Structure 1
Amino acid sequence: MSCSCSSSTNTQNELHASIMQKINNHPCYSQDAHQHYARIHVAVAPACNIQCNYCNRKYDCSNESRPGVTSYKLSPEEAVKKVLHVGGLIQQLSVVGIAGPGDGLANPKQTFETFSLLKKYAPDIKLCLSTNGLMIHKHIDEIAKYNIEHVTVTLNSVDETGEIGSKIYPWVFYEHKKHRGVEGAKLLLEKQLLGIQMLVERGILVKVNSVLIPGVNDEHLPFVARKVKELGVFIQNVMPIISKPEYGTKFGLDGVPSATHKQLMKAQEACDVNVKLMRHCRQCRADAVGLLGEDRSDEFFKESFADKSFEELAHHYDLNQRMKTHENIETWRRALRAANGKINQEEATNKDELSSNGNTMLVAVTTRGNGLINDHFGSAKEFLIYEAGDKAIKFIMHRKVENSYCMGKENCNGTYPIEEIKNALSDCHLLLTQKIGDCPQKELESIHLTCDESFADEPIEISVLKGVRKHFFTAS
């Protein structure tokens, strides 16, 4: 009996180690990794086999950061050349994803040709695929063949009647026919669940993206979370619908509102009891480049790499130097973990695990990455949000704003866009930032937000705990 238990434990440990190795430097599958490693999406898949009411695949929209948008399409050869070019300049690049602007498996020739070339010229990089799930079952062998260890499937409903799905998908194109309404939604769900099951059986890590659509599937998402846990999905990402009318989507033009921060938090909390959640998603463009909190796609146009040879770009990619860079990143991450200690309770589901008295605070942090509080308030265009008590902390989400408080001398017209920031941080209690001026600090005090720059350039997690203890738990 003891031998059997030991064998089982060893197997579980080996499985855990295998999974940790797969996600260690994947910025989407690991919340910790996203502060240190970069990703690139290559836009080789223009066609799509379903229509979503929240989607509009437009081109030349470099000012937008949302799924489906790209400035230009690439051939498989151009895509791999771009990866080699970018990977030599951004050596913390660790993942290549195909995420559109259509669906990767609706463009299988371009998708798998790209992955084949990447295996040859960039063998160190992780391969990632995003799909609506309709065609996974037909391409599962190719996904396994190219060692694509991470697949993201968008699953917005598990309603077997098709009623909810029919409100999201006007049509589904399968086997040379458009299936509309309830019929299409039921067909899509059947293939999605089959595809996810096949991926999990092959040991491929699955991330499920679920778009939060107020009034359509917001109350239904906990059922999605329950189902994906049952299927063995690794992580779920509940992402807010982006539906401004100017984006031209059906939902946007029909007046379906974008999901608010509070609605997203409510949905995440409802799903959190069922499956591990991804809380740091940035809803990236189909040609995104860089850390998750940044997008450098406008720095890399075809002219900078298309005419260069694979041999020249492979030399520029410099595998040996990239390995050294990644080793340095891991050394830094070990130092950060030692400094932060074991205070981040990602799996905490109630406030008593974070606080000795059941009270917790929301803390906003400005950062440019590397796990440090290293960004001025004036230049911050996003804030990391943590829930914290006097015992531990938990990462909740990131919140973007369209304009930073200070837009630089060239764009400064004497006004400072503070109202959007105040709205984004209205439920927060503490702001930890590298630097903040007297004027914005007074503005934030009007919403009862305490600002503290004494933790500048310090590790984020331990600073969040210390900051909450300093300002809200001094008696204890």
Structure 2
Amino acid sequence: MELPVISNTPSESEGGGCSSSGCGTAPDALGHLPDHIRAKVQDHPCYSEEAHHYFARMHVAVAPACNIQCNYCNRKYDCSNESRPGVVSELLTPDQAIKKVLAVAAEIPQMTVLGIAGPGDPLANPGRTFETFEQLSARAPDIKLCVSTNGLSLPQYVDEIAKHNIDHVTITINCVDPEVGAKIYPWIYWENKRIFGIEGAKILIEQQQKGLQMLTDRGILVKVNSVLIPGVNDEHLKEVSKIVKAKGAFLHNVMPLIAEPEHGTYYGIMEQPEPTPEMLQDLQDACAGDMAMMRHCRQCRADAVGLLGEDRGDEFTLDKIDVMDVDYEAAMVRRKEVHDSIIEQLEAKRGNAKPKAEELGIPAESRPVLMAVAGKNGVVAEHFGHAKEFLIYEASPAGVRFISHRKTELYCGGMDSCGDGDVVDAGATESLLDRNIRILEGCEVVLCSKIGYEPWAKLEAAGIAPNGEHAMEPIEDAVLAVYKEIAATGKLLPAVDSKKVA
């Protein structure tokens, strides 16, 4: 039996990538974990880089209020056009949320995780949040429960979190220095009053650190999210990573700032620069050490449904689920069959050793190469012009590792060629195709299932080699095969210094 294919629609999805070595909770990185921890993460798409190929998550938007203001946040409660945290199309009551969860879980049996992440802060809405968790535990005990919080109210609710068997908590920690925090948080709402600047940031940091320690002392897995803000906390996040690791955080997710002016955030209006992909990768690598780093995050909406990198929320609006006939007891039987099948095959996959670089004839001194992949469900499966994101992998003598994803814009309206007639002009100075190629800067190869003549030529002109020869192959196998082909040309070896030779 093959691994189930999870679709965005009955025939289409956006996918994600995972790594076989060197990054996050990749397949071989799960082996060292105790059984009880591995059981918590192996089917959690956020906590396991491998799992997000096969398991889905959903968020329910039951928490509208927030107790802090972040310069990168502008909550929107009726927006379907933006894909970022704090945005939802519909606010839900706890009863509506449960109805929606049962409908999604029955329709998408690979859905394993229910999270409450906003659009405000779940712990600033404790009644709505914990009522939702309580009902869900009774109605759908097979679903993992998660909560995401800024941490200000966390210490007072740790016992409640433990009571509801919430095994996974995400805390957004952007700093451990109040002076840095004052540049990120204009104010917090604490003990019935608004506190500004450094004083407010100091209270927030103290509460975050106290809550983190309390959670890890209880054996609850904690993922720490940090927003990388160039010129504000970029260097400081290395210290954040050391401290949260020392307190027992399981995973650190360093995310890029989203600061588009149209989103209406303070940073967007003030034209705060977003980090480049190279800046993000360098900081993630610097923070990694022997702590697991999450690199496959998609910075989901507060009402996201489906695989990471996709959103099937439109299929499960309140008017649509009202007419669904859900037999959840029957659905649980099917869900268990699907989960067990996936886990069984993933465990078998972990037992298959990947070939070492020397076995493939790749010299140990070869330099690493970045490759962009138009993939979904773990295979090279997207047409270049149909990809809404590219998965960035690094191939080196140490193996293949997933680095990040880069969002692009769909520019192709045709099925095969993506020629001139299919490219939509995005403005007077740069077409969508040109923009997408610019986003792939730093990559030396693009792997996709098909590619038209015009993008092929433009990629080559930009110094990026297009490759459509590995369609429907597993991503890591395809990346390694291309790396081997490049190695055979000698282009991976360090250049010889002619002065030293002389």
Q: 1:327 aligns with which of 333, 340, 359?
A: 340
CA distance in 1, matches of 2:330, 2:287: 41
**d(CA) in 1 for partners of 2:350, 2:374:** 19
Partner SS state of residue 74, structure 1: coil
Q: 143-152 or 460-469: which moved more? A: 460-469
Shift of 1:24: 0.4
Per-residue Cα deviation, 1:141-191 (whole angstroms, up to 9, x for no partner): 1100111111000000011xx111011111111111111111000000000
Shift of 1:305: 2.1
Cross-structure match for 1:62: 80
Deviations 1:396-435 (A, max 9, x none): 111111x1231458x9964252112111111001112112
- Which residue of the partner structure matches residue 91 of structure 1? 109
Alpha-carbon distance in 2 for matches of 1:146, 1:343: 45
Q: 8 Å contact 1:45–1:101 — kept in the other structure?
A: yes
The 2-side partners of 1:444 and 1:426 are apart by 10
Distance 2:87 2:203 in 1: 27
CA distance in 2, matches of 1:119, 1:50: 29
Q: Quick one: which amino acid aligns to residue 444 of structure 1?
A: L
The residue number in structure 1 matching 2:23 is none
Pairwise CA distance, 1:20: 1.1
2:399, 2:312 → 1: CA distance?
A: 34
| Aligned 8 A contact 1:166 1:182 in 2 | yes
Q: How far is the alpha carbon of 1:29 from its aligned partner?
A: 0.6
Aligned residue type for 1:290: G
| 1:205–1:234 Cα contact (<8 Å) kept | yes
Instruction: Return the match for 1:102 from 120, 130, 149.
Output: 120
Identify which of 260, 267, 292 aligns with 1:251: 267
**Cα distance, 1:58 vs structure 2:** 0.9
1:434 match: 449
- Aligned equivalents of 1:386 and 1:15: distance in 2? 25
Paired residues of 1:389 and 1:469 also in contact (CA < 8 A): no
1:448 aligns with 2:469: no
Shift of 1:470: 1.0
Matched to 1:291, the amino acid is L
Among 112, 115, 133, the residue aligned to 1:115 = 133
Q: For the structure 1 residues 422 and 317, does the alpha-carbon distance in structure 2 shift closer, same or farther, using more than 3 Å as the test? A: farther
2:407 to 351, 375, 400: 400
Structure 1 counterpart of 2:251, from 235, 240, 255: 235
Offset of residue 238 of structure 1: 0.5
5+ residue gaps, structure 1: 1-11, 345-353
TM-score with structure 2 length normalisation?
A: 0.85
The letter for the 1-side match of 2:411 is Y
2:436 alignment partner, SS class: helix
2:374 is matched with which residue? 366
2:497 corresponds in structure 1 to none
C-alpha deviations, 1:189-219, integer Å up to 9, x for none?
0000000000000101100000011111111
Counterpart selection for 1:82 from 88, 100, 115 = 100
Asked whether the equivalents of residues 386 and 411 of structure 2 are also in contact (C-alpha less than 8 Å), the reply is yes
Alpha-carbon offset, residue 316 of structure 1: 7.6
The one-letter code matched in structure 1 to 2:399 is: A
Q: Which residue of 1 aligns with 2:479?
A: 464
CA distance 1:305–1:13, change in 2 (3 Å): closer
1:70-469 to 2 correspondences below 5 Å:
70-159=88-177, 162-273=178-289, 275-306=291-322, 312-315=325-328, 318-334=331-347, 336-337=349-350, 341=354, 356-369=364-377, 371-401=378-408, 403-408=409-414, 414-416=422-424, 417-469=432-484
Q: Secondary structure at the match of 1:318?
A: helix
Q: Which residue of 2 aligns with 1:348?
A: none
1:390 and 1:468 in contact (8 A); partners too: no
- Indicate how the Cα distance of structure 1 residues 332 and 380 shifts in structure 2: closer, same or farther if over 3 A, else same: farther
Aligned 8 A contact 1:128 1:151 in 2: yes
**Contact 1:208–1:233 (Cα < 8 Å) also in 2:** yes
Q: Distance in 2 between matches of 1:245 and 1:383?
A: 24
Q: Distance in 2 between matches of 1:124 and 1:387?
A: 36
Cα-to-partner distance string for 1:345-394 (whole Å, 9 max, x where unaligned): xxxxxxxxx9711510001111121x211222121111111111244111
In the other structure, the counterpart of 2:59 is 41
Asked if structure 1 preserves the Cα contact closer than 8 Å seen for 2:185 and 2:201, the reply is yes
**Structure 1 residues 336 and 15 mapped into 2: Cα distance closer, same or farther (>3 Å)?**
closer
Distance 1:355 1:111, change over 3 A: farther
Aligned residues: 448
Name the amino acid aligned to 2:292.
K
How big is the shift at 1:285? 0.2
Unaligned residue ranges in structure 2 (runs of 5+):
1-29, 425-431, 494-502
Matching of residues 14-25 of structure 1 within 5 Å: 16-25=34-43
Q: Distance in 2 between matches of 1:313 and 1:118?
A: 15
Residue deviations 1:423-453, cap 9 Å, x none? 1111001112112122211111111111222
Structure 2 distance, partners of 1:251, 1:146, is 37
Distance 2:363 2:195 in 1: 51
Asked if the contact 1:84/1:317 (under 8 Å) is kept, the reply is no
Name the SS for the 2:238 alignment partner. Answer: helix
Q: Please name the residue that 2:9 is paired with.
A: none
CA RMSD in angstroms comes to: 2.3
Is the 2:238–2:286 Cα contact (8 Å) retained in structure 1? Answer: yes
In structure 2, the residue corresponding to 1:313 is in which secondary structure? coil
The answer on whether the counterparts of 1:92 and 1:326 sit within 8 Å (CA) in structure 2 is: yes
Contact kept in structure 1, 2:175 and 2:240, CA below 8 Å = yes
- Higher relative contact order by CA 8 Å / sep ≥ 6: 1 or 2? 2
Quote how far apart the aligned CAs of 1:134 are: 0.8
- CA change 1:441–1:336 in 2 (3 A) is farther
Matched residue type, 1:361: V
Alignment partners' CA distance in 1, 2:286 and 2:397: 24
